[in-house]
Structure 1
Amino acid sequence: MTVRQPRYSKEEFARRGDEIYESQVRSQVEEGNHGKIVAIDIETGAFEVDESEVAACNRLEARYPDAQIWIIRVGSRHVRRFGGRTKKSV
């Protein structure tokens, strides 16, 4: 199994991923996909949407085996949440 090496600094990786999401992907995925994962190849702009990070990444890698993948959750600034949270009162 070949280990893929990052070709960009963390900052450049994040900048490219966010820029592609905002300029090319967001308008295509936002409606009807709230909370789903978007996996984006930061070099080609290709993307996949799924409930599962693994499924989205696997499909993207099947199309682009050398993809540099940035993951974002539709409608959120965070892919995951750590720690507790307060329940909303109804």
Structure 2
Amino acid sequence: MNSRNTARVGNRIKSYKKGQWMQTILWSREEVPPRAKHLYESSIRPKINLEENVRRMVIIDIETGDYKVDENGLHAADYLSAKHPNARLLRLCI
């Protein structure tokens, strides 16, 4: 990762894009589910735990805590990926 536009610092990658440095945290496969579950239980669930959301999917960006709810998670994942291109996303059923 020694190009002019990226640098690795510990478990983070910094990349230069559109005139600014952006930082991405590298999460292992084992770290993603517990992180998503913690975010869901501590801050997301109280906001979306509604009857209308039963059997819907929530997609969580584990780096930013952003989330989106929809029927099957596809549109939510597209939305969050567009918002944060290097996002680590996890899908949970509500």
TM-score computed with the length of structure 1 as normaliser:
0.71
- How far did 1:7 drift? 2.4
Structure 1 portions without partners, runs of 5+: 1-5, 75-90
By relative contact order (CA 8 Å, sep 6+), the higher-ranking structure is: 1
Given the alignment, which residue of 11, 36, 55 partners 1:35? 55
Point out 4+ residue stretches in structure 1 off by more than 2 angstroms: none
How many residues get paired? 69
Q: What is the aligned-residue identity percentage?
A: 35
Task: Mark the structure with the bigger radius of gyration.
Answer: 2
- How far did 1:56 drift? 1.1
Given the alignment, which residue of 72, 85, 93 partners 1:52? 72
Alignment partner of 2:63: what SS?
A: coil
- Supply the RMSD in Å over aligned alpha carbons: 1.4
Correspondence for 1:25: 44
TM-score computed with the length of structure 2 as normaliser:
0.68
